[in-house]
Amino acid sequence: MAMATSSSFLSIPLLKTPSFLSPIKHCVSPLSSEFRALALYGGRNGVSTSSAVATEAQVSTQDDKLKDAKMEVTDKPEKVVLPTNESSESLLRIRHTCAHVMAMAVQKLFPDAKVTIGPWIENGFYYDFDMEPLTDKELKRIKKEMDRIIGRNLPLIREEVSRDEAHRRITALNEPYKLEILDSIKEDPITIYHIGDEWWDLCAGPHVEKTGKINRKAVELESIAGAYWRGDEKKPMLQRIYGTAWESEEQLKAYLHFKAEAKRRDHRRLGQVLDLFSLQNDAGGGLVFWHPKGAIVRHVIEDLWKKIHIERGYDLLYTPHVAKANLWQISGHLDYYRENMYDQMNVEDELYQLRPMNCPYHILVYKRKRHSYHEFPIRVAELGTVYRYELSGSLHGLFRVRGFTQDDAHIFCLEDQIKDEIRGVLDLTEELLLQFGFSNYEVNLSTRPEKAVGDDDIWVKATSALRDALDDKGWSYQIDEGGGAFYGPKIDLKIEDALGRKWQCSTIQVDFNLPQRFDITYVDSNSEKKRPIMVHRAVLGSLERFFGVLIEHYAGDFPLWLSPVQAHVLPVTDTQLDYCKEVTNKLKANGIRGELCQGERLPKLIRNSEMQKIPLMAVVGAKEVETGTVTVRSRFGGDLGTMPIDDFVSTIKSAIESKASI
């Protein structure tokens, strides 16, 4: 039975070139960049480059990593804004029908295959089958059979039958999964969709009128994956076939180009190529190892985060990674979040728990002393590492891990301070995200759900405060009625990356629950005890996930200020090594992340720098040693000529300070 998913899908433009990248400079291979750098140096210093480049060309054709660069020079289709299931009902119908056509094709080719479910999804459709494992070669056979079914222009016919009749027909076909699905359907009568008079499926629709409405050239089968029936690892493993379908061949080409670009930017691949991070099987799944280069980027992000928070009146905290299990009983996590928590550990006959959240720790810091209304608002922030259990099958690079560091903060305030504090968080969020080039946001305000804690009056006040803060900020937003947490309303913000993809990032949540559970109070102007309002907020989300987003946003080409290595110093021969060391030391003394590269001929050194996406190269030959200069090439700005070392240093420092490219 093809079930419609209710997710809100995002509009995906073909490709947006970020302002910090030059589309011309980034559509060349590293070899051509080497040639320009060598030609620049050779032209000024009388060095012949032709033989060296020829040698490197031979090497480069054997290097698999250059395939990534070649992906950037392929012909790109014109920009196409792709429709979504929400914006185009015809597209949704096409995808839904494609799932049925694919299931029909599979059962024609593999009569023993048992069908289960086949919904439309964000960029296409899938169907799960109980059958022997498939190969890519068999996918091609299935697609050919689908094309034949589409070409026959068979009608899609809706039929209503009784539950008993549906049960009889399914039993006759020996489809056990369909019987289970039938039992889960509560409405009567049961609806069936036929493709001609040859195949049918339990389904509520909608579909196209005839298979001929599908453009065969706009459909492609993409991949095969394993999936447990009903998502339960104790149930049978099924074969899931993913496909994509569009209204036109042009849309399919645009989607495939987008998909190839997303693959080129995949943070898991770039994390290995650029030696930024790893996930070590020997240590366990979902645990991130930050390598030196990745750790430098994290250090820069953390320093910026701390600076902005201190400037905006936050006090920084560091709290433990474990606590007594009773703390999580008080907070309610053991009752409502236990499946995401690790097993408890016995320490001297007391049970301890790895923390899945930072909130209770910040509350304990608040409770350490008595508070007066004069002290509010109180803002505390922590880059706190938490641990959450995830099934191994759900782990995904830096995006889904078991241990991660949240940029967590909590604000304790009075009721009449909520709006101003929320507005302050929105301003801080914008200030921080703009540093990384994120300026387009999707904002949602989620209101009280059916089951909630707290009086109606405070819910109304808090929701109005969030709404007023957003209006005051001037941001457009959508209302998600009933989508708030049980403990308070919230604002969620998604950022848009260079490919137009949306990433859940920042969240601001008002909490009426934890202050009550932990019985936190303050003394008001009448010397009476009152309960403060608590606001949870995160701007980046988690450092791991945000780093993954950054890698894909920049395609590994970090801007100068954020790049783990900002400049490579390259000697023409070993006779310039001593001078190169002086240059490198001067860069480091001025806070510039410079590295001396040696041990290879200059063309290879340049090529390696390009492959590592180093923003700046300083080439040093005999003339540079004699004149106290360096010949500079920028990855983003091209050839910058020869300049004194002090000028090189001051230019870099100025660009880092302003977060500009050179």
Rounded mean pLDDT, 466-493? 92
Domain at 567-658: CATH architecture: 3-Layer(aba) Sandwich (3.40)
Peptide linkage before 189 cis (omega within 30 of 0): yes
Please report the pLDDT score of residue 523 as a whole number.
97
CA 96 to chain centre: 27
Ranking 43-57, 414-428, 534-548, 616-630 by mean pLDDT, the lowest is 43-57
Please report the pLDDT score of residue 232 as a whole number.
86
Does the structure show a pLDDT above 60 at 149? yes
- Choose the catalytic residue: 203, 359, 413, 505: 359
- Choose the catalytic residue: 298, 333, 536, 545: 536
Q: Delimit the domains of the chain by residue range.
A: 89-252, 279-554, 567-658
Whether 388 is catalytic? yes
Whether 410 is catalytic? yes
Ranking 17-31, 252-266, 617-631 by mean pLDDT, the lowest is 17-31
Tell me how far apart the alpha carbons of residues 436 and 244 are, in angstroms, rounded to a whole number. Answer: 32
- Summarize pLDDT for 336-348 with one digit per residue, the tens: 888 889 999 999 9
Does the structure show a pLDDT above 70 at 515? yes
Please report the pLDDT score of residue 33 as a whole number.
39
Binned at pLDDT 50, 70 and 90, residue 86 comes out as: very high
Whether 27 is catalytic? no
By CB atoms closer than 10 A (0-12, 13-18, 19+), residue 608 is: middle
Please report the pLDDT score of residue 19 as a whole number.
34
- Choose the catalytic residue: 406, 417, 566, 576: 406
Please report the pLDDT score of residue 77 as a whole number.
44
Does the structure show a pLDDT above 70 at 52? no
Binned at pLDDT 50, 70 and 90, residue 497 comes out as: very high
Whether 344 is catalytic? no
Whether 359 is catalytic? yes
- Choose the catalytic residue: 207, 423, 490, 604: 490
> Percent of the chain having pLDDT more than 90?
80
Please report the pLDDT score of residue 254 as a whole number.
94
Please report the pLDDT score of residue 231 as a whole number.
84
Tell me how far apart the alpha carbons of residues 14 and 79 are, in angstroms, rounded to a whole number. Answer: 6
Given this structure, which CATH class describes domain 89-252?
alpha beta
- Choose the catalytic residue: 114, 333, 362, 388: 388
- Choose the catalytic residue: 240, 362, 379, 410: 410
Rounded mean pLDDT, 81-109? 95
By CB atoms closer than 10 A (0-12, 13-18, 19+), residue 661 is: middle
Does the structure show a pLDDT above 50 at 170? yes
Rounded mean pLDDT, 319-340? 90
CA dihedral 119→123→128→132, nearest 10 degrees, is 160
Rounded mean pLDDT, 3-10? 33
Binned at pLDDT 50, 70 and 90, residue 298 comes out as: very high
- Choose the catalytic residue: 407, 408, 497, 557: 408
Rounded mean pLDDT, 276-297? 96
Please report the pLDDT score of residue 79 as a whole number.
65
Does the structure show a pLDDT above 60 at 291? yes
Whether 406 is catalytic? yes
Is pTM, for the whole model, over 0.75? yes
Binned at pLDDT 50, 70 and 90, residue 25 comes out as: very low
| Inter-residue contact 584 to 596 (CB < 8 Å) | yes
Rounded mean pLDDT, 236-252? 96
Rounded mean pLDDT, 423-443? 96
Whether 545 is catalytic? no
Please report the pLDDT score of residue 10 as a whole number.
35
Of 471 and 50, the one with more pLDDT = 471
Rounded mean pLDDT, 133-154? 95
Binned at pLDDT 50, 70 and 90, residue 334 comes out as: confident
Please report the pLDDT score of residue 78 as a whole number.
57
- Summarize pLDDT for 53-81 with one digit per residue, the tens: 323 233 233 344 334 434 443 444 456 78
Q: What share of the chain is helix, strand, coil (3-state, %, to 5)?
A: 40, 25, 35
Contacts of 107 (CB under 8 A, 6+ apart): 113, 115, 199
Could you tell me the CATH superfamily of domain 279-554? Bira Bifunctional Protein; Domain 2 (3.30.930.10)
Tell me how far apart the alpha carbons of residues 102 and 99 are, in angstroms, rounded to a whole number. Answer: 5
What's the whole-number average pLDDT of the chain? Answer: 88
Main-chain dihedrals φ then ψ at residue 335, nearest 5 degrees: -85, -35
Ranking 16-30, 94-108, 161-175, 543-557 by mean pLDDT, the lowest is 16-30
Does the structure show a pLDDT above 80 at 596? yes
